[in-house]
């Protein structure tokens, strides 16, 4: 039994270079069976080097081959085998997918006897539905889709080709997932948005959430993350968006293609995030604002206004000793007073400059 990400039969370096590209130096017939870090790789492994600070490990690693940046041409590991490429980390990512696919059991379509599938649901004969999953009336499960054990697919929901719902994830009524999406365990797509009006007594009156959530192709949603359905319009997640674990996406949010959100991000209702953005862990994004394409938000920042220019933004208060933090926090509370004093001094200096010299 092979370990996760390990291929019993392995791959030759020639096979890897032919499929993924790069310049192969050394023996193309060397067989590698898994990816490992530089420091712990063995003669059955291939590894990669993408940071200059790890360069001393190149001469020490026991790896059968190393994926190296083109800037290190002329440098080789002890094995004498290397693949040179413009981006070793990207190369590693693609190779990891290949090893992972080789280690997986063959996909076997069909529906488990304990799965509860409504007769009015449309499940492709080339899809798979595992034990104790529930598929309601009108739902569509496309070919190659895999509905894991204990999953829930609500009425009229659509699960696209090759999409995978890991055990105990849920897609609520009417929501749509495109091709090759992935929901990790505990993820929920289409939960009710948080919308309430207040009556005369101040009590909350629920607003029915009648929109849906739409995930385009190649979206990945981490464990226990939630994407709320829209209140009136839809919540829309663009192609290739990657969402980490424990992320909250509120109703009517729109996220552009290939944006990534790290763990514990919270996005409030009706916010719009552009394409190719990266939102660091623990970031809070207020509602009804917009962030343009190509923005990076540093971890633990609070975004309380729209971001209209691409670039990197950070709004977190740096960690410090408690005593220093108290002093700095006290100073921050007085910034407006200090600003007024500086303005007064500037005006006084200008007035002195304008006085005739004696």
pLDDT digits (tens, 9 = 90+) for 285-330: 999 999 999 999 999 999 999 999 999 999 877 778 999 988 988 8
Q: Is 107:128 a contact under the CB 8 Å cutoff?
A: yes
CA distance 177 to 144: 13
Each residue's pLDDT tens digit, 335-356: 989 999 999 999 999 888 887 7
* Distance of alpha carbon 188 from alpha carbon 151, whole angstroms: 10
Q: Is 344 a catalytic residue?
A: no
User: How far is Cα 111 from Cα 124, in angstroms, rounded to an integer?
Assistant: 10
Q: Say yes or no to pLDDT of 274 above 50.
A: yes
Give the mean model confidence (pLDDT) for residues 135-154: 98
Average pLDDT over residues 281-287: 97
> Dihedrals φ, ψ of 20, to 5°?
-105, -10
Q: What is the DSSP string of 226-272?
A: EEEPPSSS-EEE-TT-EE-TT-EE-TT-EE-TT-EE-TT-EE-TT-E
| Residue 325 CA from chain centroid, whole number | 32
pTM of the shown model: 0.89
Number of Cβ within 10 Å of residue 98's Cβ equals 16
User: Confidence band (pLDDT; 50, 70, 90) for 1?
Assistant: very low
Q: Which residue would you say has higher pLDDT here, 354 or 164?
A: 164
What is the spatial order of strands in the sheet that 45-48 belongs to?
A: 23-25, 82-85, 65-69, 45-48, 34-35
Q: Concatenated DSSP letters for 192-236?
A: PP--EEE-TTS-EEEPP----EEE-TT-EE-TT-EEEPPSSS-EE
Apex 41 CA angle, 36 and 44, nearest 5: 95
Instruction: Please report, for residues 230, 237, 268, the alpha-carbon distance to residue 221 in angstroms, rounded to integers and kept in the order given.
Output: 18, 10, 17
Lowest-confidence segment of 97-101, 283-287, 327-331 by average pLDDT: 327-331
Measured between alpha carbons, how far is 281 from 297 in angstroms, rounded to an integer?
Answer: 9
- Catalytic site residue from 146, 251, 258, 348: 251
CA 122 distance to own-chain centroid: 30
Residue 160: phi and psi, rounded to 5, are -75, 175
């Amino acid at each position: 039994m092979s370990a996760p990400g390990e291929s019993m039969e392995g791959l030759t370096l020639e096979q890897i270079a032919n499929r993924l590209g790069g310049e192969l130096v050394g023996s193309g017939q060397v067989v590698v069976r898994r990816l490992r870090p530089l420091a712990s790789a063995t003669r059955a492994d291939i590894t990669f080097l993408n940071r200059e600070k790890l360069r001393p490990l190149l001469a020490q690693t026991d790896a059968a081959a190393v994926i190296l940046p083109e800037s290190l041409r002329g440098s080789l590991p002890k094995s004498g085998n290397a693949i040179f490429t413009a981006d070793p980390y990207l190369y590693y990512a693609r190779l990891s997918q290949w090893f992972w696919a080789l280690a997986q059991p063959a996909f076997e379509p069909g529906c488990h006897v304990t799965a509860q599938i409504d007769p009015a649901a449309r499940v492709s004969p080339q899809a798979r539905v595992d034990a104790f999953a529930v598929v309601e009336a009108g739902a569509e499960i496309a070919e190659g889709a895999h509905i894991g054990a204990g999953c829930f697919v609500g009425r009229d929901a659509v699960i696209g080709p090759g999409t995978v719902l890991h055990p105990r994830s849920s897609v609520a009524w009417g929501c749509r997932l495109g091709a090759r999406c992935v929901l990790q365990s505990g993820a929920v797509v289409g939960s009710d948005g948080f919308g309430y009006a207040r009556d005369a007594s101040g009590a909350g009156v629920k607003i029915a959430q009648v929109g849906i959530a739409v995930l385009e192709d190649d979206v990945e949603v981490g464990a226990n993350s939630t994407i709320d359905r829209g209140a009136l319009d839809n919540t829309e997640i663009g192609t290739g968006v990657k969402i980490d674990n424990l992320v909250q996406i509120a109703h009517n949010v729109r996220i552009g293609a290939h944006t990534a959100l790290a763990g514990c991000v919270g996005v409030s209702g009706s916010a719009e995030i552009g394409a190719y953005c990266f939102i660091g862990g623990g970031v809070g994004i207020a509602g009804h604002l917009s962030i343009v394409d190509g923005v990076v938000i540093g971890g633990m920042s609070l975004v309380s206004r729209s971001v209209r220019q691409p670039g990197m933004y950070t709004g977190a208060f740096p960690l410090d000793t408690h005593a220093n933090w108290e002093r700095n926090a006290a100073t921050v509370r007085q910034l407006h007073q200090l600003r007024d004093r500086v303005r007064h001094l500037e005006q006084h200096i200008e007035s002195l400059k304008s006085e005739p010299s004696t």
